[in-house]
């Protein structure tokens, strides 16, 4: 499913968070949104997911204005992983993940069926979290919660996958495993995947295209090699980086000491 964001602006009260943002996001690719704190990354993902309504502009899903879909239709094709869910909810992990299957239930069915359970089992096996299913949400670690949230997005079998800081709280092993899995399912199922990241090194390793934002605007949009250059990074982040290109879109990004 192709996603187009056209002339999007968004404000919280009088504070403008997004300013005239336009971009085309392609299927079968992982597009990373990077930028400093306050750049507008999370807000952009929430606007695409129809969680927030823009003050100006339009989001298109397969060339159709998202406002022409009803909320349940959007929920079936767009999955957004919220990074700030409280762990204090005393709900079983399995039941929490199953809530993501709600848009697929008919008005006459308010409980999971065998198909829902099979989908949850498949996704949780791929993310190595089946051992968590019978635990309560308030019994898991922050890193485990992060993988649970990603599973909750994936069990919807979405066409558009929006992940906000999916590597947060994960140790180095799971950072790589989770992002590698996201890339694999993106290609396997033709997903349109948008990932907000702070880590430039991870963005260079797992993303096909990069959107660099600052203060609500797109500064640069293109391939990893086009966007992640030392000059562009310095202009936005205000510090010097050394970018070493090892070929095949493989970069090493090292902050230079002042």
Secondary structure (DSSP) of 38-63: TSSHHHHHHHHTTSS--SEEEEEETT
Q: Burial level of 94, CB count in 10 A (0-12/13-18/19+)?
A: middle
Distances (CA, A) of 184 to 77, 94, 160, 214: 18, 24, 14, 29
Answer whether residue 43 shows pLDDT above 90: yes
Return the pLDDT at 107. 59
Q: What is the pLDDT of residues 129-176, one digit of tens each?
A: 999 999 999 999 888 998 999 999 999 999 999 999 998 888 999 899
The encoded tokens of residue 232 equal 């562009």
The encoded tokens of residue 181 equal 């899995």
Across residues 213-227, what is the average pLDDT? Answer: 96
Answer whether residue 111 shows pLDDT above 70: no
Return the pLDDT at 110. 52
Give percent of the chain above pLDDT 90.
78
Return the pLDDT at 257. 79
Cα-Cα end-to-end distance for the chain = 44
Across residues 62-72, what is the average pLDDT? Answer: 94
Binned at pLDDT 50, 70 and 90, residue 2 comes out as: very high
- 89: helix, coil or strand? coil
Within 8 A by CB and 6+ apart from 12, the residues are none
> What is the second-level CATH architecture of the domain 3-255?
3-Layer(aba) Sandwich (3.40)
Answer whether residue 238 shows pLDDT above 80: yes
The encoded tokens of residue 234 equal 């310095």
Q: Please give the Cα distance from 175 to 257 (Å, whole number).
A: 26
Average model confidence (pLDDT) for the chain? 92
Phi/psi at 26 (nearest 5 deg)? -95, 150
Give percent of the chain above pLDDT 70.
96
Answer whether residue 246 shows pLDDT above 90: no
Q: Please give the Cα distance from 115 to 140 (Å, whole number).
A: 26
Would you kindly state where each structural domain of the chain is located, as residue ranges? 3-255
Chain position carrying tokens 């697929």: 104
User: Could you tell me if 213 and 33 are in contact, meaning their C-beta atoms sit under 8 angstroms apart?
Assistant: yes
Binned at pLDDT 50, 70 and 90, residue 251 comes out as: confident
Return the pLDDT at 106. 67
Q: Please give the Cα distance from 141 to 182 (Å, whole number).
A: 21
Q: Please give the Cα distance from 75 to 148 (Å, whole number).
A: 18
Is the backbone of residue 119 left (phi > 0), alpha (psi -120 to 50) or beta? alpha
pTM of the model as a whole: 0.92
Answer whether residue 90 shows pLDDT above 90: no
Answer whether residue 85 shows pLDDT above 60: yes
């Amino acid at each position: 499913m192709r996603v187009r964001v056209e002339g999007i602006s968004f404000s919280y009260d009088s504070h403008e968070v997004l300013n005239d943002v336009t971009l085309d996001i392609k299927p079968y690719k992982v597009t990373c949104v990077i930028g400093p704190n306050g750049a507008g990354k999370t807000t952009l993902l929430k606007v695409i997911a129809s969680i927030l309504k823009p003050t100006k502009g339009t989001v298109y899903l397969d060339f159709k204005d998202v406002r022409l879909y009803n909320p349940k239709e959007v929920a079936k094709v767009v999955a957004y992983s919220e990074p700030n869910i409280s762990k204090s909810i005393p709900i079983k992990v399995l039941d929490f993940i199953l809530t993501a299957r709600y848009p697929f239930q008919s008005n006459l069915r308010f409980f999971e069926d065998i198909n829902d359970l099979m989908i949850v089992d498949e996704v949780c096996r791929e993310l190595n979290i089946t051992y968590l299913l019978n635990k309560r949400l308030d019994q898991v670690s922050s890193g485990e919660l992060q993988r649970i949230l990603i599973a909750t997005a994936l069990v919807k079998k979405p066409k558009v996958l929006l992940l906000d800081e999916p590597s947060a709280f994960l140790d180095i092993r799971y950072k790589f495993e989770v992002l590698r899995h996201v890339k694999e399912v993106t290609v396997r199922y033709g997903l349109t995947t948008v990932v907000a990241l702070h880590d430039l090194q991870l963005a260079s390793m797992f993303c096909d295209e990069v959107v660099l934002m600052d203060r609500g605007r797109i500064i640069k949009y293109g391939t990893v090699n086009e966007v992640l250059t030392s000059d562009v990074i310095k202009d936005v982040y205000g510090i010097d980086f050394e970018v070493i290109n090892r070929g095949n879109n493989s970069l090493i990004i090292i902050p230079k000491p002042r």
